Structure 1
Amino acid sequence: MSAQIVHANKIEGQCTCGAVRYRVQDNMAAFKLCYCSFCQKASGSAHVTNAFTTPEQIEWLDGQDKLATFDVPNSQVRRVFCRVCGTTLPF
């Protein structure tokens, strides 16, 4: 996922193929490292850095119809990604 700060309080990004573009209001409630097995599998690494915000802070600029979700059964874990290239996206 490619992201860049465009204003002092906004971050814009897109998926790898460019089909989905978004803007996030930079009011992140927290940043946390997660070492759970789901995050390890999803990222292919030992941990993932997660930034937390509310859905109201996410503005979809293009490609919202290309979004797909996966909810891990018996969990509060949700993964949102681009249907075209599989890039993980904010949710």
Structure 2
Amino acid sequence: MTSNSTTYEGGCTCRQVRYRMTAKPLFVHCCHCRWCQRETGTAFALNAMIEADRVELLSGEPEPVMTPSASGRGQKIWRCPTCRIAVWSNYGSAGDAVRFVRVGSLDEPDRLPPDIHIFTSSKQPWVVLPEGAPAVTEYYDTKKTWPAESLARREALRAKRS
């Protein structure tokens, strides 16, 4: 665990794979789409989006598992080779530059509640969102939803890729 408010450590169940996020995530999604429900075996996926270069691998070597996605571009889910726990994903649209860290794999997952609930049109009816929680039926406009600091980091990332 860490006491620094801008670093977050996590890993898999068997502790072979350990990582550290060295910055606050760009944004945290709670996705209620059917694909996330199927891939996680639960009602939703909680992902912290962060630049790949801000995730340090402390031990182990996760393995990518290619899976289909609704976009048709696929998704790489990085899993511990021993216990098979997912620690992060890369989506086709963002490439390898952005990791979607599984918040549940953090040592202190309660430090990163969702910034928004997405694809609530397919949310399980028994999941009750907190009153006032930002939520959209499908996806959202990043420019209108993300904080200015995250938008600036996103633009810096895009500039590096060009």
Query: TM > 0.5 between the two?
Result: yes
Q: How does 1:37-56 map onto structure 2 within 5 Å? A: 37-56=34-53
Task: Identify the residue that residue 146 of structure 2 maps to in structure 1.
Answer: none
1:75 and 2:85 are equivalent in the alignment: no
Query: Residue 13 of structure 1: CA displacement?
Result: 1.2
Query: Residue 31 of structure 1: CA displacement?
Result: 1.0
Question: Structure 1 length normalisation: TM-score?
Answer: 0.80
Determine the C-alpha separation between the residues in 1 that align with 2:5 and 2:30.
24
Task: Identify the residue that residue 56 of structure 2 maps to in structure 1.
Answer: 59
Query: Residue 39 of structure 1: CA displacement?
Result: 1.1
Task: Identify the residue that residue 11 of structure 1 maps to in structure 2.
Answer: 8
Task: Identify the residue that residue 29 of structure 1 maps to in structure 2.
Answer: 26
Query: Residue 27 of structure 1: CA displacement?
Result: 2.2
Query: Residue 82 of structure 1: CA displacement?
Result: 0.4
Which stretch of the first structure deviates more once superposed, 31-40 or 78-87? 31-40
Q: Which structure has the greater CA radius of gyration?
A: 2
Give, as a single letter, the amino acid of the residue that structure 2 aligns with 1:13: G
Q: CA-to-partner distance for each residue in 1:37-85, whole Å, 9 max, x for gaps?
A: 2211122112111110010011001112xx1112224334221110100
Which stretch of the first structure deviates more once superposed, 33-42 or 22-31? 33-42
Percent identity over the alignment?
Answer: 27
Gaps of 5+ in 1: none
Give RMSD over aligned pairs.
1.7
Determine the C-alpha separation between the residues in 1 that align with 2:52 and 2:45.
20
Q: Which has the higher strand share?
A: 1
1:88 and 2:86 are equivalent in the alignment: yes
Question: Structure 2 length normalisation: TM-score?
Answer: 0.48
